[in-house]
Amino acid sequence: MSTAIAAPETLPGISPGIYSAQDFAAVSEIAHREAGIVLAEGKAMLVYSRLAPLVRDSGCATFGSYILRIREDAAERNRAIMALTTNHTFFYREAHHFAHFAETVRPGMIARLARGEKARLWSAGSSSGEETWSLLMTLLGPDRAAGERIAHGDVRLLGSDIAAHALRKAEAARYRAEDLKPVPEALTRAWAAPLPGSDDMEIAPTVRAMARFRTLNLLGQWPMQGKFDVIFCRNVMIYFDNPTKERLVARFADALVPGGWLYVGHSERVTGQALQTLTSAGPTIYRRSEA
């Protein structure tokens, strides 16, 4: 018989024995295999709190029986993985990235678009869209007329995430007005509008038309054929072990055009094979070699 984890037994209304150390180990193995997520031993209660509603909804009496289900049911397994991921983000997070993009990357991108060339950006792990819209508003700039001309070029941004529910919020492009406060005021005035009768704001149609959102597991196959000028993947790899991080960053490097840019989270660093083609260009900013 498995040994029950003590902490769940202390929760009111939870019978002892429905969640064990073996159950946690099984969930950890599935999360790592499917999404690269590393769940340390101290995360046992987090797993319990995130998955308990799914266990109840599924009609399973114990975590053990639910684990048997997710091993066989891909859709339910995906629901469990999404429940274990953290979708915390906010507008203009790590503002120095957007400042660098505006000052260093944007001018050349605008020039290429004016010549009829294309620009492709990827928000990998876009969650509920705040990063996507921050990046596109920065690209378009505070001048509405000039931004409209940029938007009419061949420019697209892919927002991808493993969590379908987060992408639905991103596609809705509707947020509380207070959520947009970190965005420079001039950009908010140009590219977001208050919704009558509410405290919400909506991202302008011009901006929304530039983005495409897709469900994507970064550890799986990538269906995209072309390469990207800019990839943002920030505060995603903190959940991965080092070998998984290095493999993923190497794939990002291969997905960039020569001279393309990779932005990672404040606690993330590029190591391993990717250093053959990526060089540091600032705090958590990397550029692919031109060759």
In this structure, what CATH number is given to the domain that contains residue 29? 1.10.155.10
119 and 195 fall within a common domain: yes
101 and 73 fall within a common domain: no
pLDDT for the residue 148: 97
Check if 179 is active-site.
no
**How far is residue 5 CA from its own chain's centroid?**
32
145 and 34 fall within a common domain: no
pLDDT for the residue 231: 98
23, 106, 120, 161: which one is catalytic? 161
pLDDT for the residue 276: 94
84, 118, 137 - which closes a domain: 84
The pLDDT tens digits of the residues spanning 150-196 come to 999 999 999 999 888 889 999 999 999 999 999 999 999 999 999 99
Range of the domain at 202: 95-288
Asked whether residue 90 is domain-assigned, the answer is no
* Spans of the chain below 50 pLDDT: 1-14
pLDDT for the residue 260: 98
117 and 209 fall within a common domain: yes
104 and 184 fall within a common domain: yes
61 and 192 fall within a common domain: no
Asked whether residue 138 is domain-assigned, the answer is yes
166 and 275 fall within a common domain: yes
Check if 50 is active-site.
yes
pLDDT for the residue 210: 98
* Number of domains observed in the structure of the chain: 2
117 and 260 fall within a common domain: yes
